[in-house]
Amino acid sequence: MRIGIEGQRLFRPKKHGMDFVTLELVKNIQLLDQENEYVVFIKPDEDVCLQSTGNMNIIELGGGPYPTWEQNALPHAVKKYKCDLLHCTSNTAPLYNPVPMIVTLHDIFYMENVSLFNKGFSAYQKFGNMYRRYIVPGVVKKAKRVITVSRSEKNRILHFFHLKDEQVSVVYNGVSLNFKPVTDKETLEEIRLKYQLPEHFIFFLGNTDPKKNTPGVLTAFAKYIRETNGQIPLVIADYPQIDLERTLLEIHEPDILQYIHRLDYIKNADLPGIYTMAALFLYPSFRESFGIPILEAMSCGTPVITSNVFSMPEVAGEAAVLVDPTNPYDLARAIHRVLTEPEFSKSLSEKGFVQATRFSWAKMAKEYIDIYKEIVEKTSRQT
């Protein structure tokens, strides 16, 4: 069989969650499945991070902006390369497609009762939400199978789209083998100097998406600072300075800016070192469909505090402190406990190592390969 995989954003230099999931899927399929053929369709960009192999043809496909690329260029390419099945990997897909299709819905946050024009969203995010809200209902009807990344998200998809249980499969994300404690002192010092990191710090991957709960994290951190006289600063990544200053004014805590070290985009290769140096990793989102950074931090031995809602307890198991993300005081108490009780912190690290081993990209890829075979065989019997 010949499987087409949509990987539109794989060559963009600043990758995010869904991009890394697709990248790991493709790399692991290259290694695991020599029996079938694959064609990966990618929009040309700067980071050429994949090469064609005997079982996989990497096609750089032009076609204009995101919607026209997906709705026009992609279906034509699928037909040209005579694919038996198309896997669309990142929440959307063509409404008109010449072959059977499966789609991965990482989440359906954009379909739910939230404002598309929330002030926390960038213009790009607002457009993406509108586009998905228009496209996804039709895509779900046409897909031979919907894949999602947690039982929590599956239940929401089933309920929202009124689907049958067998129409939606759960395939867990994994964690890269690159995420492990960095023991080389020179490497750690290079990363520390590169990002001008403090000696000890709390780490938070914040961004402007409201679900990340950045105001709540900053409120909790302010409480921690007042109680400890600023012993350990907060390193916050991927959050613009202007947004940080505005948020601190909104929560009436502008004075804690001096205890915050802000970073722009962090290269994925540097993240293991930053996790390793961090005394604690915060991930108290309001909403996540999975939460890969939870596993990344655990794989590096970093204690984790995350939320007690949606997919996060499913991913973290008993290896993290679970808090109510709507209660900054709950989060502040958890921060204080992890940083002042060495034995408790050590037990979280040990449990985290074990929990992270339950998830792997190779396992994810094998499950997708089985689904591809199942759908192609079922479609063949029906024709």
CA dihedral sign, ordered 341, 347, 350, 352: negative
Same domain as 218, residue 304: yes
CA dist., res. 26 & res. 69, Å (int): 20
Same domain as 311, residue 206: yes
| Domain assignment present for 291 | yes
∠ CA 186-188-191, nearest 5°, is 110
Same domain as 260, residue 204: yes
CA dist., res. 153 & res. 21, Å (int): 16
Same domain as 88, residue 37: yes
CA dist., res. 6 & res. 279, Å (int): 38
| Domain assignment present for 340 | yes
Query: Is 249 exposed, middle or buried, given 0-12, 13-18 or 19+ CB atoms closer than 10 A?
Result: exposed
Same domain as 203, residue 133: no
Same domain as 144, residue 91: yes
pLDDT tens-place string over residues 33-77: 999 999 999 999 999 999 999 999 999 999 889 899 999 999 999
| Domain assignment present for 194 | yes
pLDDT score for 121 = 66
Contact 251, 328 (CB under 8 A): no
| Domain assignment present for 155 | yes
Taking the chain (383 residues) in runs of 10, the rounded mean pLDDT of each run is 97 92 98 97 96 97 93 98 97 96 95 63 76 95 97 97 97 96 97 96 90 96 90 93 96 96 93 98 96 98 98 98 97 96 98 98 98 94 78
Same domain as 120, residue 70: yes
- Bridge-based pairing of strands 304-307 and 321-323 is parallel
| Domain assignment present for 178 | no
Same domain as 202, residue 135: no
Same domain as 202, residue 343: yes
Same domain as 293, residue 337: yes
| Domain assignment present for 180 | no
Total structural domains within the chain: 2
pLDDT score for 14 = 87
Q: What are phi and psi of 324, to 5 degrees?
A: -75, 115
Same domain as 367, residue 297: no
Query: Distance of CA 305 to CAs 149, 203, 302, 326, 327, Å?
Result: 21, 11, 10, 14, 13
Contact 244, 278 (CB under 8 A): no
Check which CATH number belongs to the domain holding 63 and give it. 3.40.50.2000
| Domain assignment present for 230 | yes
pLDDT score for 231 = 83
pLDDT score for 383 = 67
Q: What is the DSSP string of 206-255?
A: --S-GGG-HHHHHHHHHHHHHHHTS-S-EEEES--HHHHHHHHHHTT-GG
CA dist., res. 22 & res. 87, Å (int): 10
What is the span of the domain harbouring residue 369?
2-173+361-376
Same domain as 199, residue 148: no
pLDDT score for 230 = 73
Query: Is 199 exposed, middle or buried, given 0-12, 13-18 or 19+ CB atoms closer than 10 A?
Result: exposed
Enumerate the H helices of 151-213 as residue ranges.
151-161, 185-195
| Domain assignment present for 382 | no
Tokens of 154: 């599956």
pTM of the model as a whole: 0.92
pLDDT score for 120 = 59
